[in-house]
Amino acid sequence: MLLEVFLVLGTVIVYFLLSKKKEETLPFKDGWWGKGQKPDTEEDTTIWPFKVETTEEELSDLFRRLDQARFTEPLENSFFHYGTNSAYLRKVVSYWKNQFNWKKQVEVLNKYPQFKTKIQGIDIHFVHVKPPHLPEGQSAKPLLMVHGWPGSFYEFYKIIPLLTDPASHGLSDEHIFEVICPSIPGYGFSEAPHKKGFNSVSAASIFYELMLKLGFNEFYAQGGDWGWLICTNLAQIAPNHMKGLHLNLASVTNMGFIHLVSILLGRYLPGLFGFQDEDVRRMFPFLKKGLYRILLESGYAHIQATKPDTVGCGLNDSPVGLAAYILEKFSTWTNLEFHNLEDGGLERKFNLDDLLTNIMIYWVSGCIVSSMRFYKENLQKGIGTQKHERLTVQVPTGIASFPNEVMHTPQAWAQKKYTNIVSFHFMPQGGHFAALEEPELLAEDILQFVGKVEKEQLWRKKGD
Amino acid sequence: MLVYWMRSRQKIKTIEIGDGWWGSGERPLKGKEDESIRPFKIETSDKEIEDLHQRLEQAHYAPHLEGAAFHYGFNSSYLQKVVAYWRNQFDWRKQVEVLNKYAHFQTTIEGIDIHFIHVKPSYVPHGRAVQPLLMVHGWPGSFYEFYKIIPLLTEPARHSLNEGDVVFEVICPSIPGYGFSEAPHQKGFDAIATARVFHKLMNRLGFKEYYLQGGDWGSRITTNMAQMLPQSVKGLHLNLVFISRQGLRRMISVMLGAYVPWLVGLTREDVQRMYPFIQKNIYELLRESGYLHIQATKPDTAGCGLNDSPVGLAAYILEKFSTWTDKSFLHKDDGGLESRYLALTHCALRVSLPPSLSHSALDTRPEERVKFYFQVIHSDLEQEFDR
């Protein structure tokens, strides 16, 4: 009798332990993304330095295309309602031809050390910036920062100095970071996968290998846009290596009945659903601010998730088309109201040099098509259908919620997925491209988040 | 009350005709619109062809994924073959002659120049009436789609068709913003506006009653025409039917239709084509409607690069000629297009028109077409959300 009881108890305990483990981690995804067959030889493990370069040929090809660009007149009084206004686009192209200096921008890009290394068959590009000086007894904390679409590693160029050298920028130097900004495979100077199936879990696995290769056993990760998903997956793959996860976007892809109810009633009974005043202000009226907005703004995602090679083709051949496509996002995703402006409000929060440098990264690397394929690899089966979307995250998480993000996720929803939210702040201003638009605000939030995690040694507590 | 109810049932509801002005700037207060119908010929030049060739030669391609066929969109290896043909063998001058074999005209309606072809039968048997037939194209098509069917309708006997009593004179306009019809300069040009413009066109040509035929946007436009002025439309023929009013009854018939089709009025052929419902009507629709979504929301963004890169334009348009002809073409490396050289004429047509400086602007940017999506769908959405 006792034996049977023990056996049953034992089975139940073992089952719970195993099932709990299964639920908590996402398996590391190995792969081979190079051309053709995987060779039998060992992969080259070297890390070699990389510099962005340009040639006269590249420049004259660009100028020729800019000169021969064909524009269509916008509808009268249409501002940015139909997409990028071509009258404003002409001004951008004129600046691009006559004032923008790509050679100078290449030097700007090269001011931070860049490297490449082969992982799972493809060359991974990354920026690696160490602190210029460290106070006595302090070590630099490794921080992986992952960009999204249509961004690049360049988005972090303004925030990097605030994190590697906070003291020089009026910030507390209690925590100093060495920052690693890779390019997602298929973006910028990272090689594009040659095989189908490269999704966010693949990217997370590759970045995990990268961090281990660089000798980091414990690190922080930060991301927005695709970087949000990749860093989330990384937290699910390697929770014991990630001290903290900081996000400036925290979408909920696993919507359920409770979400629907909270959408219907949340405006009237916010407390019941855990909504704060600011949540209500940002989310409601839901049809206008949620559903309608999503429909209006997600055409690009729909076509990229289904026919990336088609939509990317012309953009890889026409720099003006590429600029129109990318600039539209920098306008609308920074502030939705900008679509009522003739110039899309682009130069209110960004300067043309930064915007064009980002676009040039897509142009010179020819990566627009492969960057779009990432949408198909992640979304082709629909939203909320992948295994990792059902798994939670136990790693200490900090969320910076910017007011002009396309869709707002309240903490009440985020904490169902991110079970260990250490800090959640409503940022006073800023949109989707937080690192480029509001580097100080984002850096401050990262610093306070890391401060909390370090003070309470929170990363050790998970797993208990 | 019974009498009132019976009478109200008999009243046919029509769409209001309304009015519009689509030209540049303000509508002129004085003066009547120029109603002349001017003959038109498509032209090309060495400069235009050289510019095209240069763009084809400098095209950038991105390598496709291994084993992708057409699942990620247009396969870039096959695209290079198409472009090689386009550069080296396709003869645009010859195609322009082909295009000009039918009589083309332009006339100004509501402030913009409307292009159309008008083909009369060369021989009308004694005592036969000729029926006017308006045929409306869609996207990414054009008036050129009808070139093979026109002779079968204007001269059925010569093509061994049983003509019965019917011979047609065919009018194929270009939707404003497409081909050689001027693009509207004002916002709001939707299918209803097009319907009204085409009624005015038929009226101007002297027709009081006519037949309509359409597919794709043509279907929607001709349907609106029939709803607007039913007394002018003798018959409406469609090769695509849009149904925008889904109701509870529709949902129920969808659910039951797979098992008891006869109960909900479906034929065996219907069942074969419609089911599995989720697969064919939702999943496949979602997979194929990305273009519609982006064109209905950000047409100027989507069209910009396509107006500047003929190769990009070709990929975008030819993808439709592949998948909309046969879904199984997705699995082929050439998208099943090998027999579709016709499609190249469409592309060349769109690309070859230079920015026009003349007052009768031939504004044929791809963006104009995609704007059309925006107008129609946006107004649908607005109706939904303004309720």
pLDDT of A148-177, one tens digit each? 999 999 999 999 999 999 999 999 989 999
- pLDDT digit string (tens) for B15-46? 888 999 999 988 888 778 889 999 999 999 99
Q: Find where tokens 């208990």 sit.
A: A464
Q: Which of A123, A187, A432, A445 is labelled catalytic?
A: A432
- Residue B229 falls inside a structural domain: yes
CB of A394 within 8 A of CB of A234?
no
**Nearest C-alpha neighbor of A354 from the set A390, A374, A319, A326:** A326
Indicate the residue among B238, B261, B278 that finishes a domain: B238
Closest CB to B73: pick one of A195, A308, A370. Answer: A308
One domain for residues B85 and B111: no
Q: How close is the nearest chain B Cα to the Cα of A311, in Å?
A: 7
Active site residue A375: yes
Q: How far apart are CA A182 and CA A127, in angstroms?
A: 6
Interval A317-328 mean pLDDT: 97
How confident is residue B1, by pLDDT bands cut at 50, 70 and 90?
confident
- pLDDT digit string (tens) for A402-454? 999 988 999 999 999 999 999 999 999 999 999 999 999 999 999 999 999 99
Cα atoms found within 13 Å of the Cα of residue A417, Cβ hemisphere only: 28
Interval B159-182 mean pLDDT: 88
Residue A231 pLDDT exceeds 70:
yes
pTM over 0.80: yes
Is B288 close to A368, i.e. CB distance below 8 A? Answer: no
The pair phi, psi for residue B264, each rounded to 5°, is: -110, 15
- Residue B324 falls inside a structural domain: yes
Q: In A, residues 36-55, which contact B (CB 8 Å cutoff)?
A: 36
3-state secondary structure of A221: strand
Q: How far apart are CA A207 and CA A202, in angstroms?
A: 9
B38: left (phi over 0), alpha (psi -120 to 50) or beta: beta
Residue A75 pLDDT exceeds 60:
yes
CB of A226 within 8 A of CB of A233?
no
Indicate the residue among B200, B222, B238 that finishes a domain: B238
Q: How far apart are CA A281 and CA A101, in angstroms?
A: 43
3-state secondary structure of A27: coil
How confident is residue B7, by pLDDT bands cut at 50, 70 and 90?
low
- Residue B257 falls inside a structural domain: no
One domain for residues B125 and B231: yes
A118: left (phi over 0), alpha (psi -120 to 50) or beta: beta
- Give the Cα-Cα-Cα angle B132, B135, B138 (nearest 5 degrees): 170
Is B73 close to A309, i.e. CB distance below 8 A? Answer: yes
Q: Identify the pLDDT of residue B75.
A: 95
* Mutation for A interface: B22, B50, B304, most A CBs within 10 A: B304
- pLDDT digit string (tens) for A341-364? 999 999 999 999 999 999 999 999
- Give the Cα-Cα-Cα angle B263, B267, B273 (nearest 5 degrees): 120
- pLDDT digit string (tens) for A189-226? 999 999 999 999 999 999 999 999 999 999 999 999 99
One domain for residues B80 and B137: no
Per the structure, the count of domains in chain B is: 2
Is A303 close to B308, i.e. CB distance below 8 A? Answer: no
3-state secondary structure of B335: coil
The answer to whether the bond into B173 is cis (omega within 30° of 0) is no
User: Beta partners for A180?
Assistant: A128, A144
Residues of B in contact with A314 (CB under 8 A): 305-306, 308-309, 311-313, 315-316
Sheet holding A242-247, edge to edge: A47-50, A114-119, A122-129, A177-182, A141-146, A219-223, A242-247, A397-401, A421-426
**Nearest C-alpha neighbor of B177 from the set B374, B26, B380:** B374
CB of A142 within 8 A of CB of A220?
yes
- Residue B215 falls inside a structural domain: yes
- Residue B262 falls inside a structural domain: no
Residues of A in contact with B320 (CB under 8 A): none
Q: How close is the nearest chain A Cα to the Cα of B32, in Å?
A: 23
Q: How far apart are CA A306 and CA B73, in angstroms?
A: 7
Q: Identify the pLDDT of residue A380.
A: 83
* Minimum CA–CA partner of B189 in chain A: A75
Interval B230-257 mean pLDDT: 83
Active site residue A246: no
Residue ranges with strand state E in A366-411: 397-401
One domain for residues B114 and B233: yes
How confident is residue B355, by pLDDT bands cut at 50, 70 and 90?
very low
- A129, two tokens: 């910036």
One domain for residues B189 and B106: yes
One domain for residues B63 and B136: no
Q: Any idea of the CA torsion for A9, A15, A18, A24, to the nearest 10 degrees? A: -110
How much is the mean pLDDT over chain A? Answer: 92
Interval B360-386 mean pLDDT: 46
Active site residue A225: yes
Q: Identify the pLDDT of residue B252.
A: 78
Residue B289 pLDDT exceeds 80:
yes
Is B301 close to A328, i.e. CB distance below 8 A? Answer: yes
One domain for residues B55 and B109: no
- A254–chain B Cβ distance below 8 A for any pair: no
Indicate the residue among B207, B238, B269 that finishes a domain: B238
Cβ-Cβ contacts under 8 Å between A and B: the total is: 215
One domain for residues B196 and B106: yes
How confident is residue A14, by pLDDT bands cut at 50, 70 and 90?
low
- B47, two tokens: 């400069």
What's the DSSP call for residue B279? I
How confident is residue B346, by pLDDT bands cut at 50, 70 and 90?
very low
- Count other C-beta atoms under 10 Å from residue A162's C-beta: 22
- A305–chain B Cβ distance below 8 A for any pair: yes
CB of B346 within 8 A of CB of B141?
yes
**Nearest C-alpha neighbor of A322 from the set B304, B355, B134:** B304
Q: Identify the pLDDT of residue B383.
A: 46
How confident is residue A330, by pLDDT bands cut at 50, 70 and 90?
very high
Q: How far apart are CA B316 and CA B333, in angstroms?
A: 16
State which amino acid sits at residue A336.
Answer: L
One domain for residues B329 and B350: yes
Q: Identify the pLDDT of residue A24.
A: 61
- Residue B268 falls inside a structural domain: no
The pair phi, psi for residue B54, each rounded to 5°, is: -65, -45
* CATH number of residue B51's parent domain: 3.40.50.1820
Residue B359 pLDDT exceeds 60:
no
Q: Identify the pLDDT of residue B362.
A: 30
- Domain that includes residue B378, residue range: 46-95+288-386
- A71–chain B Cβ distance below 8 A for any pair: yes
Q: How far apart are CA A155 and CA A148, in angstroms?
A: 9
- A188, two tokens: 């910028």
- Residue B33 falls inside a structural domain: no
One domain for residues B149 and B214: yes
Pairing of strands A47-50, A114-119: antiparallel
One domain for residues B134 and B83: no
How confident is residue B244, by pLDDT bands cut at 50, 70 and 90?
low
- Residue B271 falls inside a structural domain: no
Residues of A in contact with B290 (CB under 8 A): 299, 302-307, 311
One domain for residues B338 and B296: yes
Residues of B in contact with A296 (CB under 8 A): 297
Interval A107-118 mean pLDDT: 98
Residue B342 pLDDT exceeds 90:
no
* Mutation for B interface: A90, A187, A300, A307, most B CBs within 10 A: A307
Q: Identify the pLDDT of residue B357.
A: 26
Distance between alpha carbon A279 and the CA centroid of its chain, in Å?
23
- Residue A209 or residue B125, greater confidence: A209
Q: Looking at A16-20, A149-153, B21-25, B282-286, which range is the least confident one?
A: A16-20
3-state secondary structure of B73: coil
Q: How far apart are CA B72 and CA A304, in angstroms?
A: 9
Residue A291 pLDDT exceeds 90:
no
